[in-house]
Structure 1
Amino acid sequence: MSDPQLTRQIRRYCSDGYRLYDNAELRLALRSFYQAWLSIPKPQTEHEEAGWVLTAIGDTYFKLRQYDQAIESLMSAMHCPEGDKSPFLYLRLGQCMWDTKREAEARKYLYKAYRMAQGAVLFEQEEKRYIEAIADLCQND
């Protein structure tokens, strides 16, 4: 994005969103993240900022256990510049898939996150069931 003022505004919305997220005010956090999204010029997915805004939206929906909305946001984030390079994005997408009983897809995304992060460190703060879902795949690494 070439407009530094617009980038600062998007970062402010996201900063507010993360503060609310950290305080477990997830609905308000979503509002801030959506304000950031609406600030990005169309087509949004051509801008790198869109990837991290969509990832934040997807992560918040994950915490709210609204997995279909989370999947939609996270899949869209993958189509943004640099979006497919985020191990966290693959982790969250895999978790959402697992929690919606889409085990084959979930294992693919969780294992990709594991490989991109070069091990289980990315999973340390997550429920053990997610790393257990790919334990058989990780034995070869």
Structure 2
Amino acid sequence: MQKYLDITKIYCDTEGEPFSYVLLDNRQGVEAGRGNYTISTGKTQATIPEEPFSSIQSLCSKADSLLEEGTRESTIHAFRAYAEALDILPEPTNSWHAGGWILSRMGECYFRVGSFEQAQDLYADLMWYPGAIGNPWIHLRKGQINFELGEMERAGDELIRAYMGGGKDIFALEDPKYYEYLKTVAQGLE
């Protein structure tokens, strides 16, 4: 059975703050204005009401357990639970930290069962959620998906982003072929 990166592992930005994808919280992540997105600040941020947030937490906890079982069947069930949680999230879902958190897990399900084209579409949508751009874990998966689809230039770009944000350690539990490919693209890696 393939070992994967711990779904709950926290990667932090240069200021030591965790990326939004690791925060299943009820805070608003961004405020949208005419196609532009800015990070919400201050204590006046909107929050998801206690209910449905407790239902979202419960579904995601169940899904995390299923995903960790590591079988194809449990991964499919995990995807369904995450999708149900996303359906409960108030619209627009891309304004909530929780939305990015859930969508990143759904993409992980697609990746683990080898549905790379669906995963690619989902990760493209994920880039509109708070905390996705610059997140090394998300860039790692995007690079691996592009690699599997034969889109090598895009794979190299994404794998470099993952390396820049997470270092060599982010590749530790991954198939060595991804890091080996990265070494052909980026000079000076060991």
In structure 2, stretches of 5+ residues that fail to align are 1-26, 28-46
Which amino acid in the other structure matches residue 122 of structure 1?
I
Q: RMSD of aligned C-alpha atoms?
A: 1.6
In the TM superposition, residue 15 of structure 1 has moved relative to its aligned partner by 1.2
Matched, 1:101 2:147: no
The C-alpha deviation readout for 1:19-51, integer Å capped at 9, x for no partner, is 111112111011111011101111111111111
In the TM superposition, residue 138 of structure 1 has moved relative to its aligned partner by 5.2
Aligned with residue 96 of structure 2, among 44, 47, 52: 47
Q: Residue 7 of structure 1 aligns with which residue?
A: 53
Partners of 2:183 and 2:189 within 8 A in 1 = no
Q: Counting helix residues as a fraction of each chain, which structure ranks higher?
A: 1
Partners of 1:51 and 1:77 within 8 A in 2 = yes
Which structure is richer in relative contact order (CA contacts within 8 A, separation 6 or more)? 2
Q: Residue 118 of structure 2 aligns with which residue?
A: 69
Q: Counting strand residues as a fraction of each chain, which structure ranks higher?
A: 2
In structure 1, stretches of 5+ residues that fail to align are none
Matches within 5 A, 1:4-43: 4-23=50-69, 24=71, 25-43=74-92
CA–CA separation in structure 2 for the residues paired with 1:83 and 1:59: 14
Which amino acid in the other structure matches residue 168 of structure 2?
A
Matched pairs, number: 140
Which protein shows a greater Rg?
2
